Each structure stands twice: as structure tokens, then as C-alpha cells.
Amino acid sequence: MEAAHPTLLESISAWVLVVSFAISVSYEFWRAVAKTGVSRYDSMRAFMQGLWLYVIAAIVIALLFLGIPFAAWVGLVFSVLVIAASIFYYNPTMMLPRKPGLIDWIEDLVYTGLAFVVAALLLLEVSGCTLV
């Protein structure tokens, strides 16, 4: 049986997720270390409790890189959930108590923006479109 290969859209989506979640985990670690105590979300304990999201992201990224047949759908659903969580949970619940500065807003916009990029790319993939 021949190994599956990711499509170009799946590969690009996987790399965008790698960048997005690398930025996110670096930011959250920075908040846990440099901004400890600013809010209840800024501590090493909170950072460790949030690592489950990065494990799920790593699984989605691996599926995309491996070209598993349903990976595009999983990645699309994941990216839409990330967008929804960012807009409807993170910003009103976590961001404001953190007393955000410029770095915080930039990270939030880049992270959410990259999730939109992944959703758009994977929507093209599941629709049967390709890049030429």
C-alpha cells in the first residue's frame, strides 16, 4: 500500500499552523514568566493547564503533514473552532483582564488571522480546488 501524500494546500496549512502555534506557545510562556500575577491567566500553572490545546494542534498538524484522507476536514473544523474561541472566549474572558499592551494585541491578531488563513486554505481543499 502506498503512503499518503499531503496536497499543497494541506502542507501550507500545516506550516501556517506550526507558525501560529509556535507564536502562541511562546507568547503564553512569556506571559507566564514575565507577567506572572497580572491576571489569573498569567502563571506557570495556567500555562501548564493550557498545554492540551498545543497537543491537539500538534495532532492536527501531523495529520495534515501525513496527508491522511480526512486531515483537511479535521484541520478546517479545528481552525474554525480556534477562530470562534479566540473571538467569543479569549478576547472577552482572558484578554481584557491581562491588561493588554501592543504585544498582546499583535499576538492575538496574528494568531487569529493565521487561523483564518488555514480555514480559507482548507475550505479550498475540501471544495476540491487547487493552487496553480
Q: What pLDDT digit, counting tens, does each position of 16-25 carry? A: 999 999 999 9
| H helix or E strand, kind and range, residue 42 | none
Q: What pLDDT digit, counting tens, does each position of 59-99 carry? A: 999 999 999 999 999 999 999 999 999 999 999 999 999 99
- Rounded to 5 degrees, what angle do the CA atoms 27, 78, 21 make? 20
What does the DSSP assignment read for 35-70?
A: TTTSSTTSSHHHHHHTHHHHHHHHHHHHHHHHT-TT
Task: Give the predicted TM-score (pTM) of the model.
Answer: 0.93
**Overall residue count recorded for the chain in this entry:** 132
